[in-house]
Structure 1
Amino acid sequence: MKMLTKIWGWMSTCGMAFVITLFISVFIFQPYKVEGHSMDPTLHDQERIYVSKLQRTFSCIPEYGDIVIIDSRINRNRSLKDDIMEFPAFEFILGKKDNIYYVKRVIGTPGDVIEFKDDRFYRNGVELSEPYIKETMNHSSEMKWVVPENHVFVMGDNRNYSYDSRAIGFIPLEHIMGKMIF
């Protein structure tokens, strides 16, 4: 009986630690790993970053220039179940899914007009100062986007090698997993 009480004590302690870790990971803070070169030179392939999920938890719109983690599957709604099932321990047990998370920089927020002309980006008619980009984007045609409500426009810092809003479209706010803090 004494041994059973000890085992129960250990199991309940481990269970409580797991629940607390899950809560922190889903709602407050989580590490991610950069995969690929779309954020060069700011972030590098395989670099570990730490993300605050408070912005997502409280449904805040990110600010211009924020580096965010996005769920690239924008054609589906996200739910709390997604957040729980994407907890790293579950991904380890169930097997890692395809790379669905992208690390990108917020360029436009709801209502913004984003334009690419004369090899430069403009937001609401004002040229963007972007000292963080790797090189000038190789694109000859002019483009224009109007960011819809509850969405953002994101791009990688390595514009010539980034799969971002130019290709996948506007990112729903519910698909922003968090904001990089360090």
Structure 2
Amino acid sequence: MNWIKIVWESIYSLAISLAIALFINVFVVQHMVVEGHSMDPTLQDREHLIVSKLSHSMKQLPDYGDIVVIDSRVNRKRTLQDDLTEPVAKFIHQPDYIFIKRVIGKPGDTLEFKNGRVFRNGVKLTEPYILEPMKTVADRKVIVPDNSIFVMGDNRNHSLDSRLIGNIPLDHVLGKLELKL
């Protein structure tokens, strides 16, 4: 009879520990691994990161220059189910729609791309973190809508970012880089 009590207490303790770990991983902090070169030279392929998820949980607007984790499926509404299943799914393989990018524009900003440079609200950005000058594409102007941000990779010539996928709804900003391991 005593061994049944020991087994039950062990299972109970394990279940509580797993629930706490899942809560922390979903809502507080998460380990991630960089996949690809879109953030070179700032972040390297296979580099390990600690991402704070508090900004997502608390629905906070990131600052200019913050490196954020986003859900690139901007035309799809995110749900609590996404938040609960993604941390578990990443143990198998990180979903290919999860990107790591830098915040360039916030709601109401006017971004212009001219001669390979980025201008925010008429002021040319100083970007010492980019890998190389952006190859010129057609000059363009973007106004960041309410409840959205505009993100770009530091390796501008090899980054799938807001220039192609569009503005990122704030609920698609999953976290902010806190620490490189």
TM-score category, normalised to shorter length: over 0.9
Aligned counterpart in structure 1 of residue 174 of structure 2, from 154, 172, 177: 177
Give the direction of change, closer, same or farther, for the CA distance of 1:34–1:173 in structure 2 (3 Å limit): same
Give runs of aligned pairs for residues 1-182 of structure 1, distance below 5 A: 1-88=1-88, 90-92=89-91, 95-96=92-93, 98-182=95-179
Provide the rounded CA distance (Å) in 1 between the counterparts of 2:56 and 2:111: 24
Q: TM-score, with normalisation over the residues of structure 2? A: 0.95
Deviations 1:37-78 (A, max 9, x none): 000000000111110111111111000000000011111111
Give the direction of change, closer, same or farther, for the CA distance of 1:137–1:35 in structure 2 (3 Å limit): same
Give 1:118 shift: 2.3
- Aligned with 1:23: secondary structure? helix
AA in 1 matched with 2:96:
N
AA in 2 matched with 1:24:
I
Provide the rounded CA distance (Å) in 2 between the counterparts of 1:67 and 1:116: 20
Structure 2 unpaired stretches of 5+ = none
CA RMSD between the two structures: 1.2
AA in 2 matched with 1:19:
A
- Aligned with 1:49: secondary structure? strand
Give the direction of change, closer, same or farther, for the CA distance of 1:17–1:59 in structure 2 (3 Å limit): same
Deviations 1:69-104 (A, max 9, x none): 00111111111111111123x544xx4364121000
AA in 2 matched with 1:11:
I
Give 1:119 shift: 2.0
Provide the rounded CA distance (Å) in 2 between the counterparts of 1:173 and 1:71: 10
Provide the rounded CA distance (Å) in 2 between the counterparts of 1:82 and 1:98: 11
Q: TM-score, with normalisation over the residues of structure 1? A: 0.95
Provide the rounded CA distance (Å) in 2 between the counterparts of 1:8 and 1:136: 61
Structure 1 unpaired stretches of 5+ = none
Provide the rounded CA distance (Å) in 2 between the counterparts of 1:58 and 1:50: 18
AA in 2 matched with 1:132:
Y
Q: Percent identity?
A: 50
**Aligned residue pairs, count:** 179
- The answer as to whether partners of 2:33 and 2:48 remain within 8 angstroms in 1 is yes
